[in-house]
Every structure is written in C-alpha cells, then in structure tokens.
A and B are shown apart, each in its own frame.
Chain A
Amino acid sequence: MKTTNAEAIIVCNKVNKWYGDFHVLRDVSVQIAQKEVVVVIGPSGSGKSTFIRCINRLEEHQEGDIIVDGIPLGNDVRNIAAIRSEIGMVFQQFNLFPHLTVLQNITLAPMQVRRQSRAEAERKAMELLERVRIPEQANKYPGQLSGGQQQRVAIARALAMEPKIMLFDEPTSALDPEMIKEVLEVMKDLARSGMTMICVTHEMGFAQEVGDRVLFFDQGRIVEEGTPETFFDLSAEHHERTRAFLDQIL
C-alpha cells in the first residue's frame, strides 16, 4: 500500500541519529499515511525503538526531517508540544504512574494539558476503560493490576489525549503469554477503528492480521518494506538479512 505525499501524516526524510559516535539511525526515510498500521520489526539493537521514539521527540535526531501532520519537528518547544499532543505512546514497561489510581492516570494529562474539567475527563476515562474492557479497575492503583491490565490502562491513557497517531514500543514484550492476547485484542480493535499506528513488535500474527505495511530494520536502516502478505511469504524475493530473520521466526 504505497502512499503519496499528500495523504502522509508522518514524513521522515533521511533521518540520522548517533549515540555518541555510534550511528543508530541511518538515512531512515518513510512516509506513513493516515489510518495506516505500520509494523516495525527487526532484531534487537536494530534501531526500531529509537526510530519511533524520535517521532515524538523522546529521542533527538541529528540530521534529516521529521514532519508530523504538517508540523516540522525541531528544537522549537511549541512544535514539540503540538506534536506530542497528537501522538499517543505505549511503552514496553507500561510506565503507568504508580502513585496515581487508574482513573487518575488517564485523566491527568487531559486535565493538565488539555485543561479539561475533571468531570469531563473522568467521563471520557470511563468510556476508554470500557473500551479496553477494565472499567471495574478504575479506582485501583497500577501495582494492583496484572501486566495485561496495566498495558490496557496505558493504552487508554494514551487515547485519552485523543491522538491522531499511536506509537507502540514492544507493548507485549513484558507480558506473560496468557496476557498478550488481551492486549493484542485491544490493539486490533484500535486498528480497525481507523487509528494511524506504528507498532514495534515481535508479534508476527498481529503484523499479518492488521498490519498494512511492514518495515524491517537492521543495523539502523530500513532493509525491507512491504505488505505483510509479501513480507512473510518465504517464496517471495527478500533481502538476505530479512531471509535470515524470517528463517529464525517462522
């Protein structure tokens, strides 16, 4: 599903990043269309997490352009704030705020950043908790929930800011096998509802089921890109690195 510039909500052009002298992202260029679900896969240390963390400026890139919804990402604090309020992010380690209840976790940013009233923020939070299927946990603290429940709260927390784009950074990697499914179900619902999503994940089933496009990272660059059907088709033509990777996981 190739996209044109006009529809693209995220444009990355020759993005380069170094940690000290180590070149982690090398000329990463990609365009992501609205409502597209992009799955980023690749071996550990290939730069895929760093890539999506650059998109909401949790990491700073040194060269190239990142434009989100027409806003260029640079050192301008206002642009960063504007972009962050359009992008929701879900982390591998959930990163829920342990000192706040589930409800407070979800309502904090809408009240602080969007200046919503408590009543409105809480009404919406409860809707979101219904959507991720744990409304009954609203007044518990994160420490009292299972990993799967925590990750679903984290998704609800990100959605509360009504983002146009959702970034998922290995959302199921820290979960027990029995809990992965409940999180993936929520993510699939989200994908079907038309959310623009970039998911770093090792869940190949998920990639095949809801992904529109697969990006394969290796050593800081995109080595292959394509639809899930062709990407996971061993009989198709592949980069040798991709083939080695697919041989390991399929």
Chain B
Amino acid sequence: MSSNSQPTTIYQQDVPRRHAPITATGVLGWMRANLFRTWFDSILTVVATLFLISAIIGFIEWTVGAANWYSVLRNLSNLMVGSLQASPEALVRVNLMTLLLAFGIGVSLRAWSRVGLRGWLWTAGVSALFVVIPALTSTLPLPPSMVTSGSIAVVSGSVSETPISTFTFIGRAGETIRLAVADEAGQDDQNLASISAFGDRAADALINAARAQVAAQTRLAEIERLLSDESLAAGQRALLTSERDNLTEDVEVISERYALNSADVAVRVLAADGETVLVEGLLSPGGEALTYTLPEDGWYILDHAVQAEEANTLLQLQGVYPVLERSVTRTRLDADGNPMVSRTGQTQTESFIQHVRLTDDFTTEAAVPRIDGEDVTRYLFVNNQYRGIRDLTDYLVLHFGPFFERTGRAVLPSVGLVALGYLLMQLLDRVLPPVPPAPKLSRRVAFWLWFAMPFVVYFIIAGTDARNWGGLFLTFLLTAVGIVLSFPIGVLLALGRRADDLPVVKYFCILVIEFVRGVPLITVLFLASLALPLVNPALSEVPGAVRAMVAITIFSAAYLAENVRGGLQSIPPGQVEAAKALGMNPVQVTLRITLPQALRAVIPALVGQCISLFKDTSLVAIVGLADLTRIADIIVAQAEYIGLRRETYLFVAALYFIFSFAMAYVSRKIELSGSGAARQVQL
C-alpha cells in the first residue's frame, strides 16, 4: 500500500469560530423560525394574533363594562367550602388544613427546590397586589343611586315602570347619606343616556328611552345630511324621507315628556319602626342637597313625593346602596353559646334571612321594616342593579378592589405560611448542615411531613360533618383521596397484570382493570351511591362523599395501572438483567430498578390523570354532592344571581385552571429533577 499511494492532503489553516448571524438567534431568530418561516406561517401568525387581540379586548371590555361579579364576590366562602360555611368550627378546621398544606408546600419548596431573589420578588409583588389594590380602590368614590320620584309611569319600548315612592335600605351608624336632585343627569337626554350608577327600574327605563332618543336624533341628522345631497336618486330619497317621517313621529325629548326635574321633591327619612321621622326636607332642582348622619346600624325608610301633578324628578342618592337577601343556615346555639344537639346526636341548625349591602360587607339580620303591617319595598339588588355602561372607576371600586380584598384574606395567610415553611427549613439547614452524603435535613422533614399529612388532615377533617362538605374543599378532598389511595392500588394492579408466573393474580388484575375501564365514571359513582346500600343497608350510613371517594379511587386506580404498565414496558430488559446479575431478588429489582424508572417515565401521563381526575370530580354532582361545579349551579339558580352564569362559571373555570396548571408545573419540575436532568442530556 505505502509504495504507490499519494500523500494525504493536510489543511493547516484553522477556520475561526464566529457568532451565529443575528437573524438566527435571539427574539428575531425565534420569530423567523417559528412565526414567519413561510408565507403560510406568516398568514397564520397574523390571523391568530388579530383573533387573540380582539378576544382579549372583548373580554376586558366585557369585564370592565358589563360583567357582574357579585355572584362570585358574595359566594366566595360558599364556593370554597359549601354548606360547611354555616359552622364556624368547621371553617376553623378547613382554614387550619389549608394553612398546614401551605406550610408543607413551603417546606417542600426548600427541600427540593430553590426560591431565588426573583421568586421572592414575584411572591412579594403578587402578595402586595392583594393589599395595595383594595387600599387604592377604597379611596375611589362609590357610584350614586338614581331614584325616580314622580307620578308618570316611564315607558321604554314595551316596558312601563311606575316610580316607587317608598323604599327601605340599610346603613351603619355614623354614615352620612346625601340626597339631592340629579341636576346634571336630568338636564337633557344626552346626559340621561350616559348615566352609569345604581338605579331603580324607572330610572333604567328613563336611561333606555333617552338612549333610543339620542340614537334617533343621530339618525335624523344623518338622513338630513344625505337628503341635502342633490344627486341623490329619487327612490333613495323617497326611502329616506319615509324613514325620517317615521322617526320624527317617534322622537320626542324624554326630559320634556316626563317634565324631568321640573318639580320639587319632599323627602323623609324614617326609622325602622316606620313612624319616627328622622329628617325631612324639600329638594329642588338646582337647590341644596340634604345630608343626614345615620344614628345606628340597621334599616331606614326613605319616602319621597314630587310636588306637582304631572312630573318626574330624578334623585341622586349617596350612601344608599342595594342589598342582597340571602338565606343562611347555621348551628343553633343555646343560651351559653354551645351548639344545640338533638336527641339523635345531630347538631341542630336554623335558617334565617340576612341582608348584605352590595358595596361592602355590612350585614344585618334585623327584620325588614313594615308600615301598617305590610313589607316596604327593599332597595334590593335584583331591582336596583347597576344601570348603564360601567366606567373603569366604578368597576374598580365595585368589583376589582373587593375581589382582591376578599381573596386576599385567604391568599395572604397561605402565602405567609408557605414563606414561613421555606424560611424555617432554610434556618434548619443552616443551623444543622448535612454531612455529605446524608441528604439535607429539610428533605427529611418534608418527607415525614407529607407522610404524616394524610393522617393529620384526616384528624382535622374528621371533626366536620361529611354531609356538609362542599365546594372547592370537597373537590380537593375527592381528588387528593383519589390520588393518594389509587396510587398504591394502581401500581399493584399494574405489577399484578405483568406477573406472568402468577396467572390467577394476573387474570384477576386484568378483570378488574378492564371492567372498571369499560364503564363510565358516572356508572361507578352510581354503583357506589345507590347499589352498595342495596347490598348492605349499613353502607347507607356512610356519607355520600366517602362513597364517592371509594368510587373515584377504584376508577382512577384502573387507569393508573395501565399508565404504570406502559412505563414498566418501556424499561429495557437489560435493566432487569443487570439487576439480576448483581444478585438482586425480584422484589428488590421491582422496587429499586423497574418501578422507579417506570414511574419516572410516565410522570406526564400520571399528572395528566391527576388533572383529569381533579376535573372529573365534578361528576359527583350527579349523586347529590355539592362540589365546586355544583355550588356554581346552585348559585346561578338563585333569584338574585339570575343571568350571572357566565361570570360564575368563568370564575369556577379559572379555579380549575389555576390548580390544574399548578399540577402540570410541579410535574415538569419533577421530570427535570434528579436523573431527569441527565436524561435530557442523553436525548
């Protein structure tokens, strides 16, 4: 070979390394590669972006301008714990459990992860929102109430509303109410149409009529402008002329038709007894306002009378706001403040009516005032809703601020406990640093904490009545119990199904898995709640929630078994051979080699299953349990929240999303931990 071969060519000159071109890296490179690679991509990107923008703008407009979040705001504790909210003791227990879980999360964060400066800043920033937003919005003025005083029924379209002259409202001692004629709003139709405030039905009709009037005027001006064009075709001209004639017949100035704000109004504020006159006065258009400081908490009656035969006057009230009427069930207490227990051992409950002011949490249980034995019309949310298109200020003060204030009461302590857990563990690791290769002490604490958690939570929850479990709390319980119990069962089923040398076990496992997978969850729930008591009547004593837990556990275990089996099948046979060759017995091989790898391989599927289990728990509504979704159903079925489906379900959806997303996030973290990080390199 060596005699006749040519020498090899040698390239001595080195080619220097350069940076990648700017168009291939960074944001620009990413956009080029992902958004505008081809003309088709570009079109898709533009269309999708436009769609997204319009959807977001539409959502914000709706949220700020029209959405009514009272169904959520006023039912937060209902959505969280359902009927448990009636028992103060149960609430303490649920709160305790929540804080304990938050603490556990904090401990785990320290044990298995790190919170950097950025994390702390984010946490602090988001937590601050719950303080700052309510503080800022509470400085904004509340919208007034528009009340129509007068004798002419207001007609708008097919609606005819007669002004109501006497109504009752609630207020607090020391609060000042201010009554005046709504001069500006009643001035002309333009102003009338742009009212945004709480108001009675007659005011609503006035606003709507004024809007129609303004719209008609605009159209008339438009028609006049078109008709002035000489070159207009005869047919067109005829059409426009007839439209103009039709319109002019309809158009009339609303403020003139109802003689708006032309007459004085005599007003009186009466005490709850319906007789004592607290203050009275005469409000005249353009005149002074009447202010009065309420002497005590409770009901007041306002009556007003227009001082003319045929006139309507619009009043603007400050400090008078709609109330929600709600029925509350709570534990009956005896004279010493202890819960009353019936002979059968059940705690006695009582129901009564509460009135809650819409703009804050002021609540009264006092009886509604009566005059001459008849209930007085209440200034109730159903009749005195917000009228008009809401502006940003009103949205902030009525919805945005209160929402953050109320949720903050739950979020802030929880975040605090997470931080406490984290910092305590940091201190622990610092005071008692681990001796390598021993694991961090915090990790040991976290392990034992989560090991003990189910027992502690059980101990805490056992003190509450399972029949009253509801809301997000029930959803969580069903999910947590489903996951925790179905995990070992599912793993055993998976191992059993692969036990080729134990045919009885194998076929039993196959039977269970395939039977359960072959029926819908609803069927399993029905079986647990209806069929089981037929088998053994004693089982009907078991609370429905517990029976649902059993059903969900069995159902979830069957699916989990199949996921785990998939993971087991993905383990290369060489792993088992290597372990066997090292002298490990089958149990050791399973526990130390195959199962850990199999579970790690199917983390995405397992978490996916947890997430779908979390959402599937909403099916328990079918067997009469009041989980989160069911509570939402119940809320929107109530008279005062009619028409608030969208808001209610949107909030519920957001809750489901937040927790599902958190689960997915934790799953990704686990996937990337330990050997998962190494696996990424290998791929």
Contacts and interface: CB of A to CB of B under 8 A. Distances in A.
Interface of A: 56, 58, 81, 84-85, 87-89, 91, 93, 95-101, 103, 108-109, 112-113, 118, 122, 140-144, 154, 157-158, 161, 167
Interface string B195-232: 00000000000000000000000000000000000000
Closest 9 CB pairs of A and B: A141-B678, A143-B682, A143-B678, A95-B578, A109-B582, A95-B574, A89-B581, A85-B583, A84-B583
A99 B572 CA distance: 13
Contacts of B579: 97, 109
Of B580, B596, B600, most A-chain CB atoms within 10 Å: B580
Given A97-B593, A100-B675, A122-B437, A84 B588 contact: no
B581 A84 contact: yes
Contacts of A89: 578, 581
A113 B583 contact: yes
Contact of B592 (A58, A96, A108): A108
Nearest to B601: A99
A98 B581 contact: no
Contacts of B10: none
- Interface residues on chain B, size class: 20 to 34
B578 A97 contact: yes
Contacts of A88: 581-582
Given A97-B593, A140-B678, A143-B681, A91 B583 contact: no
B600 A99 contact: yes
B678 A157 contact: no
A161 B585 CA distance: 14
Nearest to A93: B574
B580 A113 contact: no
Of A84, A97, A113, most B-chain CB atoms within 10 Å: A97
B592 A143 contact: no
B572 to A, nearest CB: 8
B578 A112 contact: no
Nearest to B575: A95
B583 A157 contact: no
Contacts of A81: 583, 585
Given A141-B679, A144-B682, 14 more contacts: A56-B581, A84-B583, A88-B582, A91-B577, A97-B578, A97-B597, A108-B592, A122-B437, A140-B678, A141-B674, A143-B681, A143-B682, A154-B578, A157-B582
A98 B679 contact: yes
Contact of B580 (A84, A103, A140, A142): A84
Contacts of A154: 578
7 contacts: A89-B581, A93-B572, A98-B597, A99-B596, A140-B678, A143-B675, A143-B678
A113 B581 contact: no
Contacts of B389: none
B588 A98 contact: no
Contact of B582 (A84, A99, A144): A84
A154 B582 CA distance: 11
A99 B597 contact: yes
B584 interface: yes
A143 B582 CA distance: 21
Contacts of A167: 581
B584 A113 contact: yes
Contacts of A118: 437
Contacts of B678: 98, 140-144
A93 B574 CA distance: 8
A141 B580 CA distance: 21
Of B572, B581, B592, most A-chain CB atoms within 10 Å: B581
Nearest to A167: B581
A87 B577 CA distance: 13
A95 B577 contact: yes
A91 B581 CA distance: 10
Contacts of A58: 577, 580-581
